[in-house]
Amino acid sequence: MIALARAFRWKELIETGQVASISELAKKFRVDASYLFRILRLTLLAPDIIEAILDGNEPSGLSLAKLTCREPPMLWEDQRRGYGFAKLG
């Protein structure tokens, strides 16, 4: 999923100080700041969920919209249940 790659790249740019703010990052990539925030939330997903998505083993019906419509649960087990990855972990 391209959005996951973007999320981690953008996170790296922020953490390493290559951009000074979310606003600067949004301007640099010509995206709306609210979209950028939603995509950055993907970095909060459990590592096994990220791996499953990258391997193409996500549950049927899982979409970027579903993953970004709200902040993901902080507990990874809640993420697994909520996004249909209950067998992981």
Q: How far is CA 53 from CA 34, 75, 86, in A?
A: 23, 18, 14
Break the chain into its structural domains and give their ranges: 2-83
Position 1, amino acid: M
pTM above 0.95, yes or no: no
| 14-42 confidence digits (pLDDT tens) | 999 999 999 999 999 999 999 999 999 99
> Where are the extended beta strands (E) located within 1-89?
none
Q: Is 18 helix (H, G, I), strand (E, B) or coil?
A: coil
For residues 63 and 48, give the distance between their C-alpha atoms in angstroms, rounded to a whole number: 17
pLDDT of 89 over the 60 cut = no
Who's near 41: CB < 8 A, 6+ residues apart? 7, 67, 68, 71, 72
